[in-house]
Structure 1
Amino acid sequence: MPVVNLGEIISLFFVATALGMDAFSVGLGMGMQALRLKRIFFVGVTVGMFHIAMPFIGILLGQFISTKLEGFAVVAGGLLLFGLGAYMLLNSFNQDDEPAISPVGFGLIAFALSVSLDSFSVGLSLGMSGVKIFLALVLFGVVSMVLTWAGLLLGRKAKGLLGIYSELLGGSILCAFGLNILFG
């Protein structure tokens, strides 16, 4: 059984935290919707699973096309987040009480995919390194799940403070994060 050193665990933890911060940030915006705790739990688990699956797929494809898809994954993630945010912004001017994008069905898949595309790029490079892949994937999944929960719960608290402006703020956060990925 291969020995894992503490330095490798710490390094992978920092990479996992960096990859999960977008889930935290986007979770802040998404959490401003009226989400039940059961839904928040499910969203966090789904994002965690995507943060395991996407780098795993990246690792599998890493030997073949590492540099060609990395830029595409970043652009696709940024565009998806910006699009979701713009839709939430436009819908915030509707008088409906129904949220624009709900983390259910397609909205959940789009949310989880958009915040895990950067982990696909990291997976491309992990496939060529000597890192412990199982450890990396578990850390990516657990850390992103916890950060998603934290973002959603904080966003839920902010909803109570912001009232009707919460969806406008949530959409703005998604747009800003998408633009930051595209141009930052």
Structure 2
Amino acid sequence: MHVQRRGLFNLALGDFISIVFMAFALGMDAFSVGLGIGMQAIRLKRIFIIGLTVGIFHIVMPFIGLILGTYISHNIEGIAILAAGLLLCGIGLQMIIHTFLKKDSPLAPVGFGLFVFAFTVSLDSFSVGLSLGLSGVETVLAIILFGLFSTILTWTALLIGRRTHHLLGTYSEILGGCILFGFGLNILF
């Protein structure tokens, strides 16, 4: 006899682990860009503000995507799983390809530039939020973890970037893309 625990989110362990890995993969984009930005002369107060802003954007963007994904899943249930898998594979592949095509450009995460930076690194979380809505994953937990992981990874990258040079930037974005692509394949097959 299997005993099911009822928790706040009533989520299976496998689903929770998938959300954690997905949050980590999404945060890796902010991490890789944050490494480069952190190599500039940035004060600790600015690092705190940048990380918080990126985290907020990683909550808002997937929330919008989740709402749209939930709406779509109620109206087109048969195609929902296929669309979720293809979307995650596409995002992961785009992150990997973008890594090789990227040109170095100095980012100034101050004022409007900070919002542009946060929006840019959270665009992929909108699409992932859409696919999570399509697959019916727990909304509140997903967006909280997306924001938390992206904030922590951004802070970590900025602090590492202050101390080191381009050590992991490219590889971290490739890792994040591979994780998303892998989850997309998992949903499809």
TM-score (norm 1): 0.68
> Secondary structure of 2:135's match?
coil
Deviation at 1:106, TM superposition (A): 1.6
Aligned partner of 1:51: which letter? Answer: H
Aligned length: 153
Q: Aligned partners of 1:146 and 1:133: how far apart in 2?
A: 20
Q: Which one of the candidate residues 104, 110, 123 is aligned to 1:117?
A: 123
Q: Aligned partners of 2:9 and 2:146: how far apart in 1?
A: 20
Name whichever of 6-15 and 149-158 sits farther off.
6-15
Q: CA RMSD in A?
A: 3.6
Which aligned segments of 4 or more residues in structure 1 are displaced greater than 6 angstroms?
none
Aligned partner of 1:19: which letter? Answer: L
1:32 is matched with 39
- Residue 76 of structure 2 corresponds to residue 45 of structure 1: no
1:3 is matched with 10
Q: Aligned partners of 1:2 and 1:103: how far apart in 2?
A: 35
1:152 is matched with 158
1:136 is matched with 142
**Residues 52 and 151 in structure 2, CA contact (< 8 A), matched pair in contact too:** yes
Q: Aligned partners of 1:22 and 1:87: how far apart in 2?
A: 16
After superposition, give the CA deviation of every residue in 1:85-137 in whole Å (9 maximum; x if it has no partner): 5542xxxxxxxxxxxx3211121111111111110110111112221100000
1:59 is matched with 66
1:94 is matched with none
> Secondary structure of 2:58's match?
helix
2:109 is matched with 103
> Secondary structure of 1:155's match?
helix
Q: Aligned partners of 2:72 and 2:155: how far apart in 1?
A: 35
Deviation at 1:7, TM superposition (A): 2.1
After superposition, give the CA deviation of every residue in 1:159-182 in whole Å (9 maximum; x if it has no partner): xxx6xxxxxx69xx68xx6xxx8x
Q: Aligned partners of 1:123 and 1:135: how far apart in 2?
A: 12
Q: Aligned partners of 1:120 and 1:137: how far apart in 2?
A: 10
Q: Aligned partners of 1:87 and 1:155: how far apart in 2?
A: 15
1:96 is matched with none
- Closer, same or farther in 2 for the Cα pair 1:38/1:130, shift >3 Å? same
Q: Aligned partners of 1:2 and 1:44: how far apart in 2?
A: 26
Q: Aligned partners of 1:13 and 1:57: how far apart in 2?
A: 19
TM-score (norm 2): 0.67
